[in-house]
Structure 1
């Protein structure tokens, strides 16, 4: 049978089968990759930085696409418009956020600038930022998040203590505030000196395994194996015919 398989006709057919099997294997790998991508929990598209002006409009609730999306915005931090938020977790540790009012061409945007474990550190950084107020516009990059609901301070806290980043509450604290404001805030990916970068969690997909893609991947692998089986079967049939013809000649 080996002599039959080594004939030019069957070697050429084997090369054709190998090409088809390689194509089937590639299609199977592609289907498997699609199934894996569909099961990934992180929304990869949200990690692509898009200018905020293209992502969100001031005064409108953030869309599902805008919420949690990485973005960039150009503007300046407004002096004396900082707010300290209490009870903010950063990698599981409670502490304080420093939030500033960022004035862009389209409107005002709250920015969560950084985190510290104690309030004294946050207040010291606030004083430094107020003393070194920048006039030239700067580009800030971070994750855009929807506004949080306001929370009434507990009994032992002062009336102006803030624990959530509520845009509706912040605009009442900003001095001389006018103009449009974004219904969300930015978690800056670079913190001022003295503060830690705030943990920024990407939005999560439901991440379910696409069994249909897996079925197709297995199907293409079966096709690749079946192509080799057809070649082997045809060679075997040709070999058996040769044996029959040889037996008939010897019988004569």
Structure 2
């Protein structure tokens, strides 16, 4: 009755099932592992002091920015130079701009410094003159997937859509750090921009997306197995009916 399983058509179906189910299980396990990694990272972070509470350190000692150093207080000394507005940034439910000023450090490299957030329509205050020492929360360069990033282009002169060394390379002649800092003490007329958590850490939306994808892969594996059994049952019933003369033989 089950000799049909050895026909060429069923060989193709069987091979598809044999390959698909392990692949779905592998992908589901991989997504579950990603979720568990985020949970472990979240638990480890809870055991550590908050980045802002740790002792400030020289900027170069905290680079490159990773999950351990993101949010740490970084110190740098230099002179403020060119200034940009980073538009379409939200703070406390209001739209405005980040005031980004470039700090030419004593080491010769340039550090982007977000001095604060400015409401729409307000003029940006000038940066302090002379030699300054800044201490701010260290942040990784933004990417096109970062919340609030303006990627459409066509911004007016003096505005910047993304805070990154790549977006500044054609605007300033200096070597720019692949990082930036946000100051806790904003200047007059500005609000301090809080540091954001590093990507890939904590129980954020992406973590629960990993958990959702885990369920989807396992459900799909179960669906493939269910459909295989259903097809086998239907084919075996048809073969039995043909043996009993209840259904004509296929031409």
- What TM-score bracket applies, with the shorter chain setting the length? 0.5 to 0.7
In structure 2, the residue matched to 1:104 is 105
CA contact (8 A) 2:142 2:162 kept: yes
Residue matched to 2:152 = 153
C-alpha root-mean-square deviation of aligned residues, in Å? Answer: 2.9
Q: 2:57 aligns with which of 35, 50, 64?
A: 50
C-alpha displacement of 1:67: 2.2
Alpha carbons 2:85, 2:158 under 8 Å: kept: no
Cα deviation, residue 50, structure 1: 1.7
Residue 170 of structure 1 corresponds to 168
| SS in structure 1 of the partner of residue 123 of structure 2 | helix
Bigger relative contact order (CA 8 A; separation at least 6): 1
TM-score of the two chains, using structure 2 as the length reference: 0.52
Deviation at 1:70, TM superposition (A): 1.9
Q: Is the 8 A contact 1:46 1:202 kept in 2?
A: no
Give the distance between the partners of 2:68 and 2:202, measured in 1 at CA.
Answer: 15
**CA contact 2:83–2:158 (8 Å) conserved in 1:** no
Q: Distance in 2 between matches of 1:164 and 1:42?
A: 33
Name the residue aligned to 1:184: 179
Q: Which residue of 2 is the match for residue 83 of structure 1?
A: 84
| Distance apart, 1:200 and its partner CA | 2.5
Corresponding residue of 1:226 = none
Unpaired segments of 5 or more residues in structure 2?
A: 1-41, 145-149, 204-251
The one-character-per-residue Cα deviations of 1:199-250 (angstroms, maximum 9, x if unpaired) are 224559648xxxxxxxxxxxxxxxxxxxxxxxxxxxxxxxxxxxxxxxxxxx
Match of 2:236 in 1: none
Whichever structure has more helix as a proportion of its residues is 1
- 1:104-148, Cα deviation, whole Å (9 max, x unpaired): 1232100011111114332xx1xx33xxx522x221111110111
Distance 1:96 1:51, change over 3 A: same
For 1:160 and 1:113, the matched residues in 2 are separated by: 16
Q: Is 1:144–2:138 an aligned residue pair?
A: yes
CA pair 40-166 structure 1, distance change in 2 beyond 3 A:
closer
Q: Does 1:196 align with 2:194?
A: no
TM-score calculated relative to the size of structure 1: 0.52
Distance 1:42 1:138, change over 3 A: farther
Question: Matched residue of 1:53: which SS?
Answer: helix
Gaps of 5+ in 1: 1-36, 208-252
| Contact residue 73 and residue 141 of structure 1 kept, 8 A | yes
1:160 CA drift (Å): 6.9
